[in-house]
Amino acid sequence: MPTPALAAALADVDTVFNGFASPAETEDHAAVMRRLLPQCAHAMADGTLDGIGWAPHGLSRVHWRSWPPEQASAVEAFVLAWWQDVLATPTAPYPAEDVFETCASILRTMTPLLDGWGPGPVAGAHLVGCARSWMYDLVNDDLPVTWWEPEDRAAAVGELRSWLARHASARLRARGETDLAVRSELVGLPYDDRWNDPYWTSPAATN
């Protein structure tokens, strides 16, 4: 069962995008997305959409923020509600890191997703999974989110590194993930300081 916020967002998408069609759909990707959005949003929410985290989402290829306000608001509200629903679901249909990547690529920003990553055991468990998935790339100043504009990747890497160091490390340590917490703190350091830290010669690091 979706959270009330996600159910409301889906209902709004159904209403706002009801009846969209275009005779030139083969040449108009935005028109295709408008027509398919109700079906697509429900499939994203219930786990029946293929390709989450493995391919660029159709909404990431259109300038949906330039659509009429009620349409743009419905898209944004759905994406954020879907992310919150995943953070509250112990066994979500897709891994949290894949949903994060898809949501971030649609929104073209990670900030609201990170800002909305509240406390709690389920959200904390997803944080552990995401941190593990992201850490190899981030410690090397790479972005673990594939579908991102090349010119914006450095800023996105910096934002994610900073957030992990400032907000995630304490939560990871509280869950007993000490080594992952230390690595989360280290990715917040400049590259040379990070790799010169004594941690990397400790047994935990070499294991």
Give the residue with greater pLDDT, 151 vs 101. Answer: 101
Q: Hey, where are the domains in the chain?
A: 1-91, 117-207
Rounded to two decimals, the pTM is 0.90
Task: Output the pLDDT for position 22.
Answer: 58
**Cα angle 25-29-32, degrees, rounded to a multiple of 5:** 55
The per-residue DSSP string of the chain comes to ---HHHHHHHHHHHHHTTT---TTGGG-HHHHHHHHHHHHHHHHHHT--TTTTTS--GGGGS-GGGS-HHHHHHHHHHHHHHHHHHHT-TT-SS-HHHHHHHHHHHHT-SHHHHHT---SHHHHHHHHHHHHHHHHHHHTT--S-SSS-GGGHHHHHHHHHHHIIIIIHHHHHHTT-HHHHHHHHHTTS-HHHHHTSGGGGSHHHH-
pLDDT digits (tens, 9 = 90+) for 22-64: 555 576 888 888 999 999 999 999 999 877 766 678 888 889 9
The tokens 């891994």 sit on which residue?
95
Rounded Cα distance, 96 and 45, in Å: 12
- The band of 10, judged by pLDDT with boundaries at 50, 70 and 90, is very high
Task: Output the pLDDT for position 21.
Answer: 64
